[in-house]
Amino acid sequence: MFTQEPTQQAAPHIRTFHPRRGRIGAARAEALGRLWPQRGYDIAGDGPGFDAAALFGRTAPLVLEIGCGMGEATAAMAAADPGRDYLGADVHTPGLANLLLLAEQGGLTNLRAARGDAVELLRDLMKPGSLDAVHVFFPDPWPKAKHHKRRIIRPDVVSLIRERLRPGGSLRCATDWAPYAEQMLETLTADPGLSNAHGGFAPRPADRPVTKFERRALAAGRRIFDLEFTRK
């Protein structure tokens, strides 16, 4: 187990996601059953520590995407970046099945799926300095004030992400929710171990694919905010 040394009694873990149920089609169900034993990782039950070399079959810089959705963007980025390994983490089984299906169809040997709470993966299973990058694209904005504590970009989770990044590793975020974007910028700027790569909001990175979700946001007139911070 790789945990932080607590200075006081640990606070109860606050979930950053809505548990979702969704029907899984026959093709995705078949792909999940066939591909998961070799390409999937269950955060709650696959051992005392995350072994990237065992899961990917090689040692390479590792990118963790928190909340990979249906996997289209993750697969596209993995295809364009074969020198790094990509791990898409989500709680939505149909999306993870689709991610594995896309990986198989694209012949992507550098893409794997993790099922469960990404905060638990970071906190309990990953070693400090083991990640090259973390991507948090369009997370749940939890717009009601009483739910802001559930946002994934909050000080305690940002500190955890930063500790799992190697020095010089990057945390990249994107959102179409302006109030959340401002809170993200404030929270990330306040972390003493992170440095803003652009001084404010980042220009839209060319390597981040435009997803259906982003196209809907743009069609609705919402601005897309990108951020990029690096570990000092």
pLDDT digits (tens, 9 = 90+) for 160-177: 999 999 999 999 999 999
Q: What is the pLDDT of residue 19?
A: 52
Task: Read off φ and ψ for residue 69, nearest 5 degrees.
Answer: 60, -130
Name the nearest CA neighbour of 185 among 151, 141, 226, 140: 226
Q: What is the pLDDT of residue 8?
A: 37
**How many other C-beta atoms can be found within 10 angstroms of the C-beta atom of residue 201?**
18
207 is known as an active-site residue = no
Q: What is the pLDDT of residue 212?
A: 86
Q: Does the pLDDT of residue 4 top 70, yes or no?
A: no
pLDDT band at 17 (very low <50, low <70, confident <90, very high): very low
Q: Which helix (H) or strand (E) segment is 118 a member of? A: helix 118-120
Q: Tens digit of pLDDT for each residue in 18-61?
A: 455 557 778 888 888 999 999 999 999 777 899 999 999 999 99
Q: Does the pLDDT of residue 9 top 90, yes or no?
A: no
Catalytic residue among 140, 156, 176, 226: 140
Q: Does the pLDDT of residue 137 top 90, yes or no?
A: yes
Q: Does the pLDDT of residue 221 top 90, yes or no?
A: yes
User: Whole-model pTM?
Assistant: 0.88
Q: Which residue has the higher pLDDT, 124 or 146?
A: 124
Strands (DSSP E) contained in 92-157 are: 111-115, 131-137
Contact 71, 88 (CB under 8 A): yes
CA dihedral 77, 36, 3, 140 (to 10 degrees): 50
Q: Does the pLDDT of residue 143 top 60, yes or no?
A: yes
Q: What is the pLDDT of residue 200?
A: 97
Q: What is the mean pLDDT of the chain?
A: 89
Q: Which helix (H) or strand (E) segment is 182 a member of? A: helix 178-190
Q: Tens digit of pLDDT for each residue in 73-130?
A: 999 999 999 999 999 999 999 999 999 999 999 999 999 999 999 999 999 999 999 9
